[in-house]
Chain A
Amino acid sequence: MQSNTQAAVPLTNGEDRLAPAAARKGAGGKISKEWLYRGISAASLLAVLLLWWCAGTFGWVNPLFLPKPQTVWNAFMDVLRDGYKGHTLLNHIGTSMRRLFLALAAAFATAVPLGILCGRYRVLRAIVDPFIEFYRPLPPLAYYTLLILWFGITDVSKVLLLFLGAFAPLFITAVFSVQRLSPDRINGARSLGAKGWKLYAFIIFPSVLPELLTGLRTAVGVSYATLVAAEMVAAVSGVGWMVLDASKFLRSDIMYLGIIIMALIAIAIDLVIRSLIRLVSPWTEQ
C-alpha cells in the first residue's frame, strides 16, 4: 500500500490501458470472415450475369423480354453519348437527384426541430400527432393527385410529394429518440449550465443525431420509391420517366438500363448515409 499523499495516487495500473489489443484481434477475425461473405456475394452476382449472357447468346429467352447484356451496355453508351429524348443521361439523373435532395433537406430542416420539440412537450405533440397519423399510412401517390391538381406536373408538386413522404419517418424518429434520451444526460448537462436553446443545440440535437440519420435512411427509402413512381405517373424528365417512356416504345434495353441505374443510385445514396452515420457516431460502431 502506498504510504502518503502525492504518491498515493498511482494512475498507471492495468485499467488505464486503452482499447485492448485482444478486442482488435477479435474484430480482425470478423473482418476476414466478412470478406469471405463479400466474395461469395460477388461470385453469386457473376453467376447470374453469366446466366443472363447465356440466355441472350443461346436464344433461351425472347430478347424483347430479356435483351442481351451487350445490348443493354450499348444502350448505355448510346444514351450516355446522345442522351434520351432531349436530355442527357446525367441530366435525367440530375433532375431526379435534385428533386430528392431538395425534398429531403426541407424535410430534415422542418421535421427534426418539430419532432424534437414534440418529444419534449407532450402538448405540442398532441396538437401535431393527429395530422401525422392521418397522412402517414397513406400511400404518397394517393395524394399526389391533389398535389398535381394544385401545382401541375411541375417540380414543385414532386418535391412536395417527396417532402411529405420523408417528413413522417423523420418526425417520428425525432420524437421517439428524444423521448428515449436518458434523464441523466439532460440533467447532467443542466447541472453544467446548459439551458434554453443551448440545451437543444449542444446536447439534445447531437444526442439524437445518429438516430436521426438512421431515420433519414428510412426517409430516403420512402421518398426514392415515391420519386420513381411519381416520375412514371407525371413527368417529362428523370430516370423514372425514362423507363416508362422506353416501355411505350418497347425499348427493353433502355428499361433494363434505367432500372439498373436506379438501383445503383439507391445503393450509392445508402452508402453515403451509412458512412455519414459512422462519421458522426463512431461510438455506436461495434
Chain B
Amino acid sequence: MIYEEKREQGILLDGIGLAYGKGAAERHVLRDISLQLAPGEFVAVLGPSGCGKTSLLNILAGYLRPTRGTVSINGKRHTRPDPEVGVVFQQANLFPWLSLARNIEFGMRMQNLPKARRKERVSYFLELMGLEASAKLLPHQLSGGMKQRAAIARTLAAEPEIVLLDEPFSALDALTRENMQLHLREIWRKTGKCMFFITHDVDEALLLSSRLIVMHPEPGRVVEDFANPLTAGAEDQSFARIRSNAEYSTLREHLLTRMDGVNTFV
C-alpha cells in the first residue's frame, strides 16, 4: 500500500504516442514514451529539431492531446492546462498591459488567493528574482533577461508541481544566458520543484540538470535517460568547476554524438 502511494508521487507519462494522418500516411511524432519524473528532479531534454521534444512538452502541459497514452500528476490524470503544470516559454510571453508585479500575481489572482497572501508572495518572488526595483514597470520597459526572470517568477508563483521550460534562454545573449542559468539553478534548489527543461544546448543541459534525456526523431522517442554524474550530490558547485570536471568533455562528446548520429538518417 505504501509502495503504491509512493509510485504515484510525481509526474507519470505512460506510453505517450502522437501521430498525424491515417493508414499509410500516418506519421509518428512521438512513439511510446514512458517517463517518471520525481519531485525535485531537474530533467534536461536534448535532441535535434524535429525529435518531438516540444510536442512532448505540449502534451505534458495539456496543450496537445496525445493519440495514445496518459499523463498523470500525483496519480491524477492531466489532460488540460492548469496551474499544476507551469510553463515558461521561449519568449517571456508576459502580459504587456500588466506591471511586473501584476504579472507575477496573475496566477494567484486566477486561483482566488487572498489579497494579503498574494502581496506577500509577489514580494517574495520579486526579491528572489532581483526584480524589486522594477515591480511597477511594464514588460516593454525591461530587458530580455529581466522579462524571462519575471516569466519564471510568474510561473513559480502559481505553485505548480512541475515547471516546463521550452528553451527559455535561447533568445538571450551569452552573458545574460549564463546569468539566467545560475539563477534558475538557484531557484530550483530553493523551491525543490521538478523542472522539465528543453534545450538544444548540450553545455546548458550538463551544467543544470540532475537527469539527462536524449530524444531521436522519426518517430520521436527517448534513446538516453540517465542521472547527470557531473552534478550528482553537488548541485551548488560553480559552473567553472563542473566544466573542469574530467568527465565533462567525454560526456559532452557522447551527447553530441547521440544527438548528431541522427543526421545520417535525415
Closest-CB distance, B136 to chain A (whole angstroms) = 12
Also in contact, A191 and B145, with CB within 8 A (given A13-B176, A206-B97, A282-B140): no
Closest-CB distance, A149 to chain B (whole angstroms) = 45
Interface string of A4-42 (1 = CB under 8 A from B): 110011110111111100000000000000000000000
Whether the pair B179, A192 counts as a contact (CB closer than 8 A) is no
* Interface residue ranges of A186-223 to B (CB < 8 Å): 187-195, 198, 202-203, 206-207, 209
Contacts of A202 in B (CB 8 A): 106, 109-110
Also in contact, A13 and B93, with CB within 8 A (given A8-B182, A282-B138, A283-B139): no
Closest-CB distance, A207 to chain B (whole angstroms) = 8
Contacts of A1 in B (CB 8 A): 238-240
A280: interface (CB < 8 Å) = yes
Partner of A192, one of B83, B97, B130, B176: B83
Partner of A193, one of B63, B110, B140, B186: B110
Whether the pair B141, A18 counts as a contact (CB closer than 8 A) is yes
Closest A residue to B176 by CB, please name it: A15
* Interface residue ranges of A151-204 to B (CB < 8 Å): 182-185, 187-195, 198, 202-203
Please report the C-alpha to C-alpha distance between residue A140 and residue B94 in the assembled complex, in whole angstroms: 42
B220: interface (CB < 8 Å) = no
Also in contact, A185 and B93, with CB within 8 A (given A3-B238, A5-B186, A191-B87): yes
Whether the pair A188, B138 counts as a contact (CB closer than 8 A) is no
* Interface residue ranges of A99-143 to B (CB < 8 Å): none
Whether the pair B238, A8 counts as a contact (CB closer than 8 A) is yes
Closest-CB distance, A214 to chain B (whole angstroms) = 15
Whether the pair A283, B138 counts as a contact (CB closer than 8 A) is yes
Whether the pair A193, B111 counts as a contact (CB closer than 8 A) is yes
A281: interface (CB < 8 Å) = yes
Whether the pair A184, B93 counts as a contact (CB closer than 8 A) is yes
Also in contact, A192 and B91, with CB within 8 A (given A8-B186, A13-B176, A18-B141): no
Closest B residue to A20 by CB, please name it: B143
A2: interface (CB < 8 Å) = yes
Whether the pair A9, B238 counts as a contact (CB closer than 8 A) is no
Q: Which 9 A-B pairs have the closest CB atoms?
A: A11-B130, A193-B110, A192-B107, A283-B140, A190-B81, A1-B240, A193-B83, A283-B96, A5-B236
